[in-house]
Amino acid sequence: MGEVIVITSGKGGVGKTTTTANIGTALALAGKKVVLIDADIGLRNLDVVMGLENRIVYDLVDAVEGVCRLKQALIRDKRFEGLYLLPAAQTRDKNAVSPAQMQKLCEELKEHFDFILIDSPAGIEQGFKNAIAGADKAIVVTVPEVSAVRDADRIIGLLAANELIEPKLIVNRLRMDMVKRGDMMNIEDTIDILGVDLLGVVPDDENIIVSSNRGEPVVTEERSLAGQAYRNISQRLLGKEVPLINMETEDTFMEKLRRLFSGKNNKRY
Amino acid sequence: MLDFFKFLGKEQNKSKDVAKERLKLVLIHDRANISPKFLDMVKGDIIKVISNYMEIDESGFDIRLSRIEHEDDNYTSALIANIPIKRMKNIGKNNG
């Protein structure tokens, strides 16, 4: 029996789709059978982030309406053994499916997959309600900015009202240089405000954009910090204890000196 | 020298601390589903009731939602009002 995890945030643009793509890929690389569901009907994006946009024949709405069998709508990712994508419909809207239909879909997928990851649309309306309907667990993605944290708090409240208690938090796009200056809320600040458990921290990383340009998840980049963070998060989902990337490393005098001369911010996380 | 003081001042006014404080306050309202307008309505009603018994200083009336931190790190919301009294009215007193 698989586990259905919804990835949500309230606010748009904080990295739900990137997070879904990378956690899913990392879980598949760890030998699990994974399906990614793009629940953002009308604004599908998980397909392009995954580089699978040219392979779509049927979509989520087709599968729900019985236009095709569920299996026909699943796109197998040939690069990663065990990874599948159920794309969103692009020409329909959020009302094309109901929470009950999503529930049924998830139940069916649970029989065949270890992990079902649902990429939720932004907002708290129908699309969000659909995305959480069949979920057993929730991951809330936020960035350390007031607007995103406020929306995350609202989402955590709504999840609790839907019996999805104890969601796990991912703090995305953390910039250590700004944290050091005191110009960005750190992990402790964010956790303190939201009062939920931390699943992981993803540093701001240019590789994310480079990867999505190419349609290749950043977890495959051995040297990317964000990739490492996503690999760690996936390990935690598999029940392993992986320490957080150390964020509060004090610079040694030599490091400070080197940075001063190189002008680069090559910190380790 | 000016820069030195600027540096000192900055330590006390980090933008992340401002963000944190603002968020804490706005979330109290969000979580309680209470808007500032709602609070104004509560204030108006409290003034109406209290004015039957005492004369109050409306300009000094302060009402806000706050949160109380418990020992187990949990929070509960609290309505805190500070109402300056000018004079007690004569009704309701025990005149023997």
Contacts by A61-66, CB closer than 8 A, 24 or more apart = A61/A88, A61/A89, A61/A92, A61/A96, A61/A97, A62/A89, A63/A105, A64/A96, A64/A97, A64/A101, A64/A102, A64/A105, A65/A96
Question: Where does residue A176 rank: exposed (0-12), middle (13-18), buried (19+ CB within 10 A)?
Answer: buried
* pLDDT reading at A164 higher than 80: yes
pLDDT score recorded for residue B40: 83
Tokens of A194: 């939201």
Find the CB nearest B16 among A150, A154, A185: A185
Average pLDDT over residues B72-91: 81
Name the minimum distance, in Å, from the CA of A39 to any CA of chain B: 27
Residue B47 lies in a domain: yes
| Chain A CB contacts of B75 below 8 Å | 195
B11 within domain boundaries: no
- Domains in chain A (CATH in brackets) are 3-262 (3.40.50.300)
Report yes or no on B56 lying in a domain.
yes
Going by C-beta distance under 8 Å and a sequence separation of 6 or more, which residues neighbour residue B12? none
Q: From A150, A148, A131, A165, select the one nearest A60 (Cα to Cα).
A: A131
Answer yes or no: are the C-beta atoms of A155 and A140 closer than 8 Å.
yes
Work out how many domains chain B is built from and give that number: 1
| pLDDT value of residue B93 | 63
DSSP-assigned letter for residue A134:
T
- Residue B91 predicted with pLDDT over 90: no
Mean pLDDT within A228-237: 97
Q: Which of A154, A157, A193 sits opposite B20 (nearest CB)?
A: A193
Q: Say yes or no: ipTM exceeds 0.95.
A: no
User: Which of B23, B30, B75 lies at the smallest CB-CB distance from A146?
Assistant: B23
CA B23 to chain A, closest CA, distance in angstroms equals 6
CB A187 within 8 A of CB A180: no
**Summary count for chain A: helices (H), strands (E):** 12, 8
Give the residue numbers spanning the domain of B40.
34-88
Task: Write down the pLDDT at residue A25.
Answer: 98
Q: With cut-offs at 50, 70 and 90, classify the pLDDT of residue A267.
A: very low
Q: How far apart are the C-alpha atoms of A101 and A57, rounded to whole Å? A: 21
pLDDT category, A249, cuts 50, 70, 90? very low
> Please, what is the average pLDDT of chain B?
78
- Other beta carbons within 10 Å of A208: 25
Q: Which of A84-98, B60-74, B76-90 has the lowest mean pLDDT?
A: B60-74
Probe site for chain A from B14, B18, B23 (most A CB atoms < 10 A):
B23
In a domain, B22, yes or no: no
Is B10 inside a domain boundary? no
For residue A269, pLDDT beyond 50: no
| pLDDT score at B1 | 47
Among all residues of chain A, which has the CA nearest to that of B11? A182
Structure tokens, B96? 């023997």
**Residue B57, phi then psi, degrees to nearest 5:** -90, 100
Which residue's entry shows tokens 């706050």?
A: B66
Mean pLDDT of chain A: 92
Lowest-pLDDT choice from A98-102, A159-163, A176-180, B71-75 = B71-75
Within 8 A of A182 by CB-CB distance, chain B residues are 10-11, 14-17
The whole-number average pLDDT for the span A232-236 is: 97
Rounded to 5 degrees, what are φ and ψ at A113? -125, 155
Q: Do B23 and A149 touch (CB under 8 A)?
A: yes
**Mean pLDDT of the A81-94 span:** 96
* Residue B14 belongs to a domain: no
In a domain, B21, yes or no: no
Residue B60: inside a domain: yes
**Which residue of chain A comes nearest to B15, CA vs CA?**
A183
Q: Which of A154, A157, A185 sits opposite B19 (nearest CB)?
A: A185
